[in-house]
Structure 1
Amino acid sequence: MTEPSAPLVPSSPGRPQASSEARFEALVAEADAAPVDGWDFSWFDGRATEERPSWGYARSLADRMARARAALDLDTGGGEVLASVPVLPALTVATESWPPNIARATALLHPRGAAVVAVREESPLPFGDRAFDLVVSRHPVTTCWEEIARVLVPGGVYFSQQVGPASVFELVEYFLGPRTAQERGARDPQRARAAAEAAGLEVTDLRAERLRVEFRDIGAVVHFLRKVIWMVPGFTVAGHLPRLRSLHRLIETEGPFVAHSSRFLIEARKPDDPSTPLR
């Protein structure tokens, strides 16, 4: 989600309910028909905003890519983030599991000389040991630390921005009700550290932030829940009409619905191989 060119103005609470219902139906129909493939959030321009983490993932990614010889981008989505990198290594490979994203990423990345490999979620990576000196991922579904450690060369680096615990749970709980402590604690960055270290990697950087998110109309909510499918599993407009109508009225009378995303940055290095002679 990006900063809007101009904020939407909430409707006056004094307007007739029929007008509000007409707006609701139009906004929901538009959002329900919009394509959700790829990882491009430009549809939200003017309709939703999300603060960006202070560390600047894309900028840091570009710097690391420029110095790498062989790089792997896991869960590339539609390839949008990788395609934004000015200089790619001579060997650049991306993986993706969702068929619509595979086609989109292929069209976007092949002209840049990057290969896109279709994989199954949580399956072993189809690459040999010590194949890459840089592995990256932005918002991976899962992180297979043992496989990352396997495909990294000694001295190689894994660099990733990930979704942290209880991200946008204000919206999740609006639809699903209170979540358990276990659900709220999932994706804890300290657990990521422990898993990386268990796989033999040295965590060299770990930072976390919570960031303000605003949904300025009900269409933005619908599109978000259709696109980020793990937030409200099985979400459909038809199955959630009462809560959608209630949230539409809330936004029109009180202004944007505010939530908070959770993000963490993790960088981990594979130790040098002591058996490798110095050059």
Structure 2
Amino acid sequence: MSEQSPPPPQPSPPLPPFASPASRDRFEALVAEAEAVSVDGWDFSWLEGRATEQRPSWGYARAMADRLREARAALDIQTGGGEVLAAAPKLPPVTVATESWPPNIARATALLHPLGAVVVADADEPPLPFGDGAFDLVVSRHPVTTWWEEIARVLAPGGTYFSQQVGPASVFELVEYFLGPQPPEVRGARDPEDARAAAEAAGLDVVGLRPERLRTEFFDIGAVVYFLRKVIWMVPGFTVEQYRPQLAALHRKIEEEGPFLAHTTRFLIEARKPL
């Protein structure tokens, strides 16, 4: 039997027209720059001057630091590169952070070990690699998944879970620009009331729950590319080549109409384990 020839490669969709050759050159330069920069860690300083995100009114880092100051043993779940935890002025005598992504594990270790915190490589799946009642404070900023039963297990009686989380349909103006309208079950995922119910089902008392919707702006197409490379669950499998026509059209839209506006959703949840 003769071998079949592979199908010929499909041509890439044509790019939309640019306003000018200079606009095309700016597009290519911005995209190339954003593709080349490292997206390790959870530091978004590269976006300074290129994108803005309104901050929640509660000031998570400051509020977390206040709780760390009073704790004896604390756990930071999904610490990323350890940047948020490292910014706290004082860490408890026992401070542990977990992370699953190898580049972030290395960054967090380098940042947190000099401060006396231990970084544990963890798959972000149950069970947490700690004994029952090991911590009087567990914190987490923007966890991908919250394993409520495990949090309840590792908290000591009277201990607190304190977390800022991504809410429903966050930055979906950008998500739906690339992926099209999302179904209600996707738009409604990560509802704060679902978090309350899950925490209570795990035996915790929710003592605070605050949602906010916040303004986010992207000033150039490089900021969009960097954001989607870094926050990989927004447009799963995102690559510049796959979405080049949409990126080019969005580049022209930003140049002609101004920053691309989206809205971030966040909620703050605090739950305690009964004595």
What is the TM-score when the length of structure 1 is the normalising length? 0.92
2:154 alignment partner in structure 1: 151
SS in 1 for 2:160: strand
TM-superposed CA distance for 1:121, in Å, is 2.4
TM-superposed CA distance for 1:265, in Å, is 0.1
Residue identity in the other structure for 1:67: E
Residue identity in the other structure for 2:95: T
Are 1:119 and 2:97 matched, yes or no? Answer: no
TM-superposed CA distance for 1:17, in Å, is 1.1
Are 1:195 and 2:198 matched, yes or no? Answer: yes
Residue identity in the other structure for 1:226: R
TM-superposed CA distance for 1:134, in Å, is 0.0
1:163 alignment partner in structure 2: 166
Are 1:31 and 2:34 matched, yes or no? Answer: yes
Residue of structure 2 aligned with 1:172, choices 171, 175, 180: 175
Are 1:109 and 2:130 matched, yes or no? Answer: no
Write out aligned runs for 1:122-271 (5 A): 122-271=125-274
Q: CA RMSD in A?
A: 0.8
Are 1:50 and 2:49 matched, yes or no? Answer: no
Question: For 1:119-138, what per-residue CA distance to the aligned partner results, in whole angstroms no more than 9, with x for missing partners?
Answer: 11223100000000000000
SS in 1 for 2:251: helix
Task: Provide the rounded CA distance (Å) in 2 between the counterparts of 1:221 and 1:187.
Answer: 23
Question: For 1:136-187, what per-residue CA distance to the aligned partner results, in whole angstroms no more than 9, with x for missing partners?
Answer: 0000010000000000000000000000000000000000000000000000
**Percent of aligned positions with the same letter in both sequences?**
76
Aligned residues: 258
- Runs of 4+ aligned structure 1 residues displaced above 3 Å come to none
Task: Provide the rounded CA distance (Å) in 1 between the counterparts of 2:120 and 2:22.
Answer: 49
TM-superposed CA distance for 1:16, in Å, is 5.6
Task: Provide the rounded CA distance (Å) in 2 between the counterparts of 1:16 and 1:256.
Answer: 17
2:5 alignment partner in structure 1: none
SS in 2 for 1:52: coil
Which sections of structure 2, spanning at least 5 residues, go unmatched?
1-17
Residue of structure 1 aligned with 2:22, choices 16, 19, 42: 19
1:85 alignment partner in structure 2: 88
Task: Provide the rounded CA distance (Å) in 2 between the counterparts of 1:122 and 1:250.
Answer: 41
Task: Provide the rounded CA distance (Å) in 2 between the counterparts of 1:120 and 1:34.
Answer: 26
Question: For 1:174-205, what per-residue CA distance to the aligned partner results, in whole angstroms no more than 9, with x for missing partners?
Answer: 00000000000000000000000000000000
Task: Provide the rounded CA distance (Å) in 1 between the counterparts of 2:229 and 2:114.
Answer: 29
Residue identity in the other structure for 2:185: Q
Q: Is the 8 A contact 2:77 2:98 kept in 1?
A: yes
Task: Provide the rounded CA distance (Å) in 2 between the counterparts of 1:170 and 1:187.
Answer: 17
Which sections of structure 1, spanning at least 5 residues, go unmatched?
1-14, 273-279
Q: Is the 8 A contact 2:27 2:248 kept in 1?
A: yes
Are 1:100 and 2:103 matched, yes or no? Answer: yes
Task: Provide the rounded CA distance (Å) in 1 between the counterparts of 2:126 and 2:37.
Answer: 31
SS in 1 for 2:133: coil
Task: Provide the rounded CA distance (Å) in 2 between the counterparts of 1:106 and 1:209.
Answer: 32
Residue identity in the other structure for 2:151: I
What is the TM-score when the length of structure 2 is the normalising length? 0.93
TM-superposed CA distance for 1:260, in Å, is 0.1
SS in 2 for 1:32: helix
